[in-house]
Chain A
Amino acid sequence: MERIVRVALIPLFVLIWTTASMATNPLPMLLASADYSPVPSREAQICPHRERVNTERIRLAQRWEEEEKAKEVKGKSITGTMPDPFQPVNRGFFWVNDKLYFNALKPLARVYGFILPRDVRIGVRHVILNAHAPVRFANSLLQLKMKKAGIVLCRFVINTTIGLAGILDPASQMGLPRVDEDAGQTLGVYGLKEVAYIDWPLLGPSCVRDSLGTVADTLLDPIYYLVNGWVYAGLYAFNKLNETSLTLGNYESLVESAIDPYLAVRNAYYQYRIELIQK
């Protein structure tokens, strides 16, 4: 009971943070406002003709954009951006997380990867993924994705038995691909938007919707009720270490190829989640 109360405090904290941040920073970054400002510029006050020319130019630009959009191949084309009213705070946490990654997690993952052979680490990954199957099953059901729910169930049965408690992944070879469903996606399927981007310290990129999702997933996870809260957090950290050791270089290549690493990560997260929700 006490644990549930503790978990319930997180969304409350998010809510307080949202309102507090909105109060101090009421102007969310709006790209469009710089383009199509309805307020007459200083230039317009001095020279109305010039302003007309500018308005005409903007109108043409808008039309061109619409034409381009119409020409675009059918299919997903994301035009929005992640709302980010707490950008200064998030940038601070991004900096902290970036430093933590390069100075703590990465060296640790290197040592860990040096000690354990890759196949063992992949086995560890499989066991952890398999143990979280109930969460994916519940979310597939909540989204009424019956085929996915069936796949999760079959995979769980096959991998737990033939796959030796999940160490191996024979289900993938049988044509049952891994399903990726979480409560953040479930909320997204039912129309909840991101609300605001949050780069949590230690946990990394998320948003209000996906943070609520993470809390819900924790409550849906049977392991959460079987072990002590600290053990659960330890398991999370261990999973993160194991994953990092296998995917070293993913984060680096995203950050290194960016002009503004913070925005690159935020936008990648935004697009990635939209893709997952649409699947």
Chain B
Amino acid sequence: MKGKVFISLLVLLTVFPLWKVGASAVTPMDQVKSEIDQALKILKNPKLTPKEKSRAILGIVEDSVDWHEVAKRVLAVRWRRATPQQRERFTRLFKEFVKANYADKFERYSDEKIVYEKEETDPPYARVFLKIYSKNQPKPISMECRLINNHGKWLVYDILIEGVSMVNNYRVQINNILVNSSFDDMLKVLQKKVEEKFGKES
């Protein structure tokens, strides 16, 4: 009897953590869906002012993106040559830049319907494909989220809208500055952009 209890306890102890792992392993699509659902809930909340809405959504954006991976990909080959301080400064500035850019863009959301089409996983990477149905657009907008698994959490590192990668788009712009000016000058340009945006808001 004692032996049986012992064995069942042992089984339970070994299986329980496994079960726990299985349960917490969120698929990339679930992850994206829950983040978008959260954002939509905030947008549809009539009690919130536009400013509160954008702040809450930017919070979700900040947590769901792997900014380090984004910065690395935007700088591409320049990342390797940048000093750790430069990398850190760029990552922080770029995050601020993206947040400042999209702070006032959420209000455009009106009656879109989102369909989650499929996901492709290739650890540590994954891609989630969605379609946004909007009456105003001539055809449904296809969107692809590229994610990377960072310590068990799927984080976004690129978004493609109709095949246009945001990382690629910013890479071309940043690299063009870097062709003729120094890294620090590029950071200054970015800093100026962030200040302009925040200046506009307040």
* Chain A residues within CB distance 8 Å of chain B: 29, 31, 34-35, 57, 60-62, 64-65, 68, 71-76, 78, 81, 118, 122, 125, 129, 177-178, 180, 243, 246-247, 249, 253, 256-260, 263-264, 266-268, 271-272, 274-276, 278
Contact = CB atoms under 8 A, between A and B. Distances in A.
A249 B135 contact: no
13 contacts: A31-B175, A75-B120, A78-B165, A122-B135, A129-B138, A243-B138, A256-B101, A258-B169, A263-B176, A272-B164, A274-B163, A275-B164, A278-B163
Interface stretch (B12-20, B30-38, B73-81): B73-81
A275 B81 contact: no
Nearest to B178: A34
B125 A73 contact: yes
B153 interface: no
A53 B45 CA distance: 58
Interface of B: 73, 76-77, 80-81, 101-102, 105, 108, 120, 122, 125-127, 135-140, 146, 162-165, 168-170, 172-179, 189-190, 193
Nearest to B197: A256
A73 B176 contact: no
Given A61-B77, A256-B101, A73 B173 contact: no
Contacts of B73: 68
Q: Is the interface of A mostly helix, strand, loop or mixed?
A: helix
B146 A73 contact: yes
Given A81-B172, A247-B136, A253-B108, 15 more contacts: A29-B179, A34-B178, A35-B77, A57-B81, A64-B77, A65-B76, A73-B122, A75-B120, A118-B135, A125-B138, A246-B138, A256-B101, A259-B170, A260-B177, A268-B164
A122 B138 CA distance: 9
Contacts of B174: 259
Contacts of B173: 258-260, 263-264, 267
A271 B164 contact: yes
Given A34-B179, A73-B122, A78-B168, A259 B189 contact: yes
A75 B168 contact: no
A64 B108 CA distance: 40
Nearest to B131: A177
